[in-house]
Amino acid sequence: MVKNIKANNPSLKSWLEISRESDFPIQNLPFGIYSTKNKTKRVGVAIGDQILDLSQLLELGYLDSLSFCEHCFSNEYLNRMMGHGKLEIRDLRNRISELLNVENPELSQNIEAVNKVLDLQIESEMHLPVKIGDYTDFYSSEQHAFNVGSMFRDPDNALLPNWKHMPVAYHGRSSSIIPSGHDIIRPKGQQKLDDNENPIFGASKLLDFELEMGFITFKGKPLANTISTEEADEFIFGMCLFNDWSARDIQKWEYVPLGPFLAKNFASSMSCWIVTLDALEPFRTAGPVQKPKVLPYLEYSGNKHLDIELTVAIQTENGSKKVVANSNYKHMYWNMNQQLAHHTVNGCNVNCGDMLASGTISGPEEGSFGSMLEISWKGTKPLKMPDGSERRFIQNGDSVIFNGRAKNKDFNIGFGELISKVLPPK
């Protein structure tokens, strides 16, 4: 299905000045929760270096043609607004696009209104955008699964037998998902050193990032119903950057046989703007040919992958900064439609505001790997920072910075930065 979404028209221009390099041109219009010195938490839409205040816009009557109420926008989360579903959110985004269009004087000529509905991003604070009910983490990048399998098992049998038959996943912890800008406290836990019989307890020494993207769902179907790959798009609100922090030493000892637990649930970081799946439609691309052939419920038609360039940088306490990974969301073996179809095939329900994350996204060559585990190959190949220091894993005082951009010749559909700084343990 080719979607004709008005707000995606590449020729649209805004009456606001927006730099060519901005993550937030008029074709993006991502949703988030922000506050300022004078405004409590509310729904905003990023445009250039500003934020459009939807609660004010509604109060001034600019959204009267739509069915949203004040509680949808004067809210500390996006969930209530999202409750209106895909089509009404599409209408809302189209209406916002109309109001910001250079050819439309409706809002632009009302200086008093303009002053009320726009805030500078630099003068605003961003918050966790979604009240996340459930969080699921997939493991859907073949190169990542291959790298990890090669390191810990055998390069000749790197993928486990189920990997090419289903998007493997585990249930994560939603309570510890935090927004960009919040510090990560290095976790403590049990570790088992190779030459010791018994485990020790202490701060993790092998703290790592995982370069991921997450998608946020609309309300799904009731329990015992399934969502097909064909239907999946209608249940996906939008996407964010996602850092699934991992303590590799804790993970190694605890994960048998039930999988990740305390090595993961101390924190996961998400970027603050949710870029709608609608805004990303122009960046659809074909996925890999899946061999062996997948079971019928995982088959899909059309381009369901997305071309989104991803970067990871590490910045040390003294400001030394280096890009350590250039990857792309298109490297996923399993796409979101397959993940959602698999997640619900047993009748498991998804709710408005669930987070489904991709798993570490590693590209095919060195330089495109999405974790320090892979970049430093289990610590055997240390990374040189510009200040001469070395990194095998993440050190205290380091900031980890993700960026994501879908690009065409005229503009970028960006996600804004996801930055988190690692602090010593408590």
CB of 137 to Mn ion, least distance (A): 5
Cα–Cα separations (whole angstroms), residue 75 to 41, 72, 371: 6, 6, 35
Name the residue nearer to Mn ion (CB basis): 101 or 251: 251
Residue showing the smallest CB distance to Mn ion in the complex: 244
Name the residue nearer to Mn ion (CB basis): 244 or 398: 244
What proportions of the chain, in percent to the nearest 5, are helix, strand and coil? 25, 25, 50
CB of 245 to Mn ion, least distance (A): 9
Q: Is 144 considered catalytic here?
A: yes
Name the residue nearer to Mn ion (CB basis): 140 or 276: 140
Name the residue nearer to Mn ion (CB basis): 81 or 373: 373
Active-site position among 71, 127, 144, 342: 144
CB of 360 to Mn ion, least distance (A): 6
CB of 172 to Mn ion, least distance (A): 8
CB of 55 to Mn ion, least distance (A): 35
Give the long-range contacts of residues 97-102, CB within 8 A, separation 24 or more: 97/6, 97/7, 97/12, 97/26, 97/29, 98/6, 99/57, 99/62, 100/14, 100/15, 100/16, 100/26, 100/29, 100/47, 100/52, 101/12, 101/13, 101/14, 101/15, 101/26, 102/13, 102/14, 102/15
**Single-letter code of the amino acid located at 371:** S
CB of 184 to Mn ion, least distance (A): 15
Binding site for Mn ion (CB under 5 A): 137, 210, 244
- Are 125 and 347 contacting, i.e. CB atoms less than 8 angstroms apart? no
Q: What is the per-residue burial (b if ≥16 Cβ within 10 Å, else e) of 230-258?
A: eebbebbbbbbbbbbbbbbbbbebbeeee
Name the residue nearer to Mn ion (CB basis): 134 or 244: 244
CB of 263 to Mn ion, least distance (A): 10
- Reading the block at residue 294, the tokens are 């997948």
Interatomic CA distance for residues 223 and 152, integer angstroms = 38
Q: What are phi and psi of 35, to 5 degrees?
A: -140, 160
Residue with tokens 């890009």: 323
- Are 23 and 405 contacting, i.e. CB atoms less than 8 angstroms apart? yes
Name the residue nearer to Mn ion (CB basis): 211 or 385: 211
Give the CA angle between residues 90, 93, 94 to the nearest 5°: 85
Largest pairwise CA distance in the chain: 74
Give burial (CB, 10 Å; 0-12/13-18/19+) of 333. Answer: buried
Interatomic CA distance for residues 358 and 370, integer angstroms = 12
Name the residue nearer to Mn ion (CB basis): 25 or 359: 359
Active-site positions read 144
